[in-house]
Amino acid sequence: MSPAAQAAPPRTAPPAPAPAGGRRPRTRRGLSDAGYATLLAAPAVVVLLALVGWPLVKLAVDSLYTGSGLGDGRGFAGLDNYVTALTDPAIRAAAGRTLAYTVIVVTAELVLGLAVALLFHRLGPRARILQTLFLYPLMIAPVVAGLLWRFLMIDNVGIVNELLTRVGILDNPGDVSWLSDPDLVLFSVALPDIWLTTSFMTLVLYAGLQAIPPDLYEAARLDGARGLRLLVSVTLPLLRPVIAVALIIRGVDAARAFDVILIQTDGGPQSASETLSLTIYKTMVSYNDPGTAAATSTLFMIVMMAVAMVAVLTIWRPGKES
């Protein structure tokens, strides 16, 4: 069994050798185990269908209409809204920015998260206090993180530019306008997201590192592997499935980012930090165009679901050894 499989034990593994006679006999009440299990799960299923299934069906239906549905302005539009969603330059640009934002966030988190995880792994359990402190940002609300980083980065007054000036990287605290320079803003708005969830990456990768049997390192060391070579040839390949799961979870979350960006820039300047979630929200609330908003969300949803499906089917199956 690979170490990664140990990090995420097989959920679908058959129960340990069944006692002779197989299944448990039916209980007095007459409801079979399967029936009882269905009964237990039914309320959750019903609620999810009502609160997620129904809204999504309604979304798909709304995407075929124009107007708000409140007055007499509602009319069947066929696939017009989808044509708009796919051709509108603003929406296309937002889709591109969403992808760029996701790549920025996930790459930065992976590199930082792996570095910190390796550091903690090396230090071992004695560093537990440091590990726990490092996890704290995970509990902080994205809206607070966004606000906080906006405060750190405000032009002239922000502590980031002040400190950068003091150590001599900047000549003047006003030299970098993190949140008002259209070329820079997509990176700047990503900082709080990176700050918030690098901890998550570290946590997952640390768990993965713990699961690698030490004798594998011993063997590699005997073969003369050291430092970076050890990392590239032993650690990273063994960590691959864990990295993949973490990347998918974080990638999906980053692609949905909304509050962190809204609170910092509201998508500006000149929409330079407007990702799809913000565009959809604005199309709905500010431009009062529910049809296009619904069509865009439906497409966004389909793409995300496709990614999630691929994730579920290929990666999240630790029980199926290749």
Partner 1 sequence: MSHLLAARIRTGLLWAAAVAVVLLYGFPFAYLVLTSFKPAVDAIAVPPTVLPERFSLDNYVTALNRPGVTASFVNSVSTAVIATLLSMALAIPAAWAITRYRTRTGRLLMAGSLLVRMAPAVAIGIPLVTILGAVNLTDTPTGLALAQTTVALPLSIWLLASFFEGVPREIEEAALVDGCGRFGALRRVILPVVSGGVAVTAIFAFLASWNEFLFALLLTSIRAQTTPIAIANFQSQFGLDWGPMTALATLYSVPAVVLTLLLQRRIVAGLSLGAVKG
Q: How far is the CB of 110 from partner 1 (least distance, A)?
A: 14
Footprint of partner 1 on 242-281 (CB under 8 A): 242, 245-246, 249, 252, 255-256, 258-259, 262-263, 276-277, 280-281
Site for partner 1 contains 17 (CB under 8 A): no
- The residue among 12 and 183 lying less far from partner 1, judged by its C-beta, is 12
Contacts of partner 1 in 92-121 (CB under 8 A): 116, 119-120
Show contacts with partner 1 in window 24-43 (CB under 8 A). Answer: 27, 29, 33-34, 36-38, 40-41, 43
* CB-CB contact of 85 with 274 (8 Å): no
CB of 81 to partner 1, least distance (A): 13
When the beta carbons of 183 and 214 are compared against partner 1, the nearer one is 214
DSSP state of 1: -
Number of residues near partner 1 (by CB under 8 A): 100
Q: How far is the CB of 25 from partner 1 (least distance, A)?
A: 11
Is 44 or 222 the residue whose CB approaches partner 1 more closely?
A: 44
- Least distance from C-beta 216 to partner 1, angstroms? 19
Pairing of strands 65-66, 75-76: antiparallel
Tell me if 139 contacts partner 1 by CB under 8 A. Answer: yes
Considering the complex, what minimum distance in angstroms separates the CB of residue 44 from partner 1? 4
Give the whole-angstrom CA distance, residue 239 versus residue 241. Answer: 6
Among 1, 44, 167, 222, binds partner 1 (CB under 8 A): 44
Cβ proximity to partner 1: between 183 and 239 the closer is 239
Which 160-189 residues touch partner 1, going by CB under 8 A? 162, 173
* Residue 292 CB neighbours (<10 A): 24
Distances 175 to 45, 111, 151, 235, 243 between C-alpha atoms, Å:
55, 28, 17, 41, 37
- Which residue, 188 or 198, is less far from partner 1 as judged by CB? 198
Which structure tokens are listed for 92?
A: 């296309």
- The CA distance from 102 to 92, in Å, is 15
* β partners of residue 66: 75
Pick out residues in 184-243 that bind partner 1 (CB under 8 A): 195, 198, 200, 203-204, 207-208, 242
- Residues 160 and 152: their CA atoms lie apart, in Å, by 6
Contact assessment for residue 240 and residue 63, using Cβ atoms and an 8 Å cutoff = no
CA dihedral 201, 205, 207, 209 (to 10 degrees): -160
Choices 78-86, 99-107, 220-228, 289-297; region in contact with partner 1 by CB under 8 A? 289-297
The angle subtended at Cα 120 by Cα 106 and Cα 246, nearest 5°, is 25
Identity of the residue, 183 or 229, whose beta carbon is nearer to partner 1 in the bound complex: 229
| The pair of three-digit structure tokens given for residue 101, joined into one six-digit string | 């934002």
Residue 267 or residue 290: which is nearer to partner 1 going by CB?
290
Taking CB under 8 A as the rule, does residue 288 contact partner 1? no
The tokens for 97 are 């920015």
Closest CA to 218 of 206, 230, 210: 230
Cα–Cα dist 216/234, whole Å: 8
Among 30, 71, 87, 122, contact with partner 1 (rule: CB under 8 A): 122
Our CB check for partner 1 shows the closer of 43 and 183 to be: 43
Distances (CA, A) of 244 to 205, 237, 316: 10, 11, 9
